[in-house]
Structure 1
Amino acid sequence: MKTLGVDLAAATKKTAVAVIDWGGDRARLTHLALDVGDQEIVELFGTCDMTGVDCPVGWPDALIPFLTGHLNNIAAPVLEHDGIAGRRLLAYRDTDRFCTAQTGLIPLSVSADRLAHPAMRCAVIQAKIAALHGPQRRDGAGRLAEVYPAASLKIWGLNGRGYKGRGVPEAERLSLLLAALEEQAPWLDLGGYRDRLTSSDDLFDAVIASLTARAVARRRTLLPDGAHAQAARSEGWIHLPSCTLDELPGQ
């Protein structure tokens, strides 16, 4: 099995990818790249069994009727979201609320924060993938799944606080975080990429996304059910690992 992790930014710059090749009780990082364009992502998707993308793959269901009502001067669907509680339904998806309940982390809003720009790019990439490989379900039941490296790190007991950035303290925290990952996952061969990983939080997040994609492929994530399942099909679903790092390798 090969898994692809994508740390998606709004543009090619700072977009990172990581491919992990899984065999037996070992895994090896075989490809790592920064400043990656859409075409390379689509091509890598085609060569991998499962892809984890660190970016929302959809928007809140409530947002479309709200915007349509505003556009057409129809008051009812707009007034339904009067007040802060109503606006939260426009800003956050069902999966965002589920993630917060499970981990205490609050994902950025896909419709009311800077994350909207990467999400627009992600929608275009999804369309390009669909043209070549068929549409991928937003709930992760196909070969593309939404992941959240910060949540994966927390679930796996790795301290992911304060490693993002280009300053000296951030670099030191990233180096310690990578060392902790190596200690907890001795079966993972970084394939000579260790120095690059210690210098880029984007590359590191792509690796965590690829590891989480393995959990998705093995059905070892928290899956949507009931009302969550219906929302996940349109809004997307953040796959949170339900296994330890030690459970990722093997048959």
Structure 2
Amino acid sequence: MDLAAAAKKTAVAVIEWSRGSARLVHLGLDVQDQEIVSLFGASDMTGVDCPVGWPDALIPFLAGHLAFDAGPVLEHDGIEGRRLLAYRDTDRFVTGRTGLIPLSVSADRLAHPAMRCAVIQAKIAALHGPQPRDGSGRLAEVYPAASLKVWGLNARGYKGRGSSEAGRLAALLGTLREQAPWLDLGGYGDRLAASDDMFDAVIASLTARAVALGLTAGPDDAHAAAARTEGWIHLPSCGLDGLAA
């Protein structure tokens, strides 16, 4: 799913897999929490394009500020200290691997979708049990722009409603179809070409397939502890063809 701060512009895509092929069987836009939780319950793996946690350093910083305890606040004096408050371990990992800089979950507009994501995680936990933030359960954090870069697809300039953005999105969708001929879009091609949100939901679903197959760069020992609390962005470690194997 491509999660927004509210139902508007939140998109979901469900892909059914069989040996050597896959089919897009559901595509939705402006999706409410209840549908997201229901789709999670019916799916083997869900990829969410939204942070599932916050930087570990942020909690003691805020608690210290609230309690007038200068110690944990002054630990983050200066730009480098503030970067630890703004970016998670996984954000730095993604930048090192791809050159992309994920938006900050604590210092950018991404915080609003993340708050909604936390509520959705709680709703999922109430019905299906808590899902580990490192992606080792049935919910994994994904980053469509990074997945597209790993797969060699040019993902620049396709977000927006202008004619140039629409043209780039249509071209990007065409490239995806060429490189993944095993993916049946189930008649949703025109809708995907008209919505970057729904397109991102499809990429999130494809990345979820990579997570399910164990074909992503998961957290190693050095990152494992932070991934359990902050979350972990799963980058594919295979080409598109590897998803249909």
TM-score range, shorter chain: over 0.9
Comparing 89-98 with 224-233, which one deviates more in the overlay? 224-233
| Structure 1 equivalent of residue 222 of structure 2 | 227
Q: Give CA-to-partner distance per residue, 1:173-207, whole Å, 9 cap, x none.
A: 00000000000000000000000000000000000
| Structure 2 equivalent of residue 76 of structure 1 | 71
Where structure 1 has 5 or more consecutive residues not aligned to the other structure, the ranges are 1-5
Structure 1 runs of 4+ aligned residues shifted over 2 Å read none
| Count of aligned positions | 245
Quote the Cα distance in structure 2 between the aligned partners of 1:238 and 1:26.
25
Considering only aligned residues, what root-mean-square deviation do their CA atoms show, in Å? 0.3
Quote the Cα distance in structure 2 between the aligned partners of 1:117 and 1:201.
19
1:7 match: secondary structure: coil
- Read off the aligned partner of 2:236 and give its amino acid letter: P
- TM-score, scaled to structure 1: 0.97
| Structure 2 equivalent of residue 154 of structure 1 | 149
| Structure 2 equivalent of residue 115 of structure 1 | 110
- Read off the aligned partner of 2:244 and give its amino acid letter: P
| Structure 1 equivalent of residue 5 of structure 2 | 10
Quote the Cα distance in structure 2 between the aligned partners of 1:223 and 1:32.
27
Quote the Cα distance in structure 2 between the aligned partners of 1:166 and 1:43.
30
| Structure 1 equivalent of residue 29 of structure 2 | 34
1:248 match: secondary structure: helix
Q: Equivalences for 1:206-225 in 2 at 5 Å?
A: 206-225=201-220
Q: Give CA-to-partner distance per residue, 1:101-146, whole Å, 9 cap, x none.
A: 0000000000000000000000000000000000000000000000
1:140 match: secondary structure: coil
Q: Given the alignment of the two structures, is residue 47 of structure 1 paired with residue 34 of structure 2, yes or no?
A: no
- How far 1:225 moved relative to its partner? 1.1
Where structure 2 has 5 or more consecutive residues not aligned to the other structure, the ranges are none
2:115 match: secondary structure: helix
| Structure 1 equivalent of residue 15 of structure 2 | 20
Quote the Cα distance in structure 2 between the aligned partners of 1:62 and 1:135.
23
| Structure 2 equivalent of residue 248 of structure 1 | 243
1:12 match: secondary structure: coil
Q: Give CA-to-partner distance per residue, 1:219-239, whole Å, 9 cap, x none.
A: 000010122001000000000
Quote the Cα distance in structure 2 between the aligned partners of 1:85 and 1:226.
24
| Structure 2 equivalent of residue 201 of structure 1 | 196
Task: Among all aligned residue pairs of Structure 1 and Structure 2, give the percentage whose two residues are the same amino acid.
Answer: 80
2:26 match: secondary structure: strand
- Read off the aligned partner of 1:167 and give its amino acid letter: G
- TM-score, scaled to structure 2: 1.00
Q: Give CA-to-partner distance per residue, 1:3-44, whole Å, 9 cap, x none.
A: xxx000000000000000001101000000000000000000
Quote the Cα distance in structure 2 between the aligned partners of 1:157 and 1:202.
20
Q: Given the alignment of the two structures, is residue 106 of structure 1 paired with residue 105 of structure 2, yes or no?
A: no
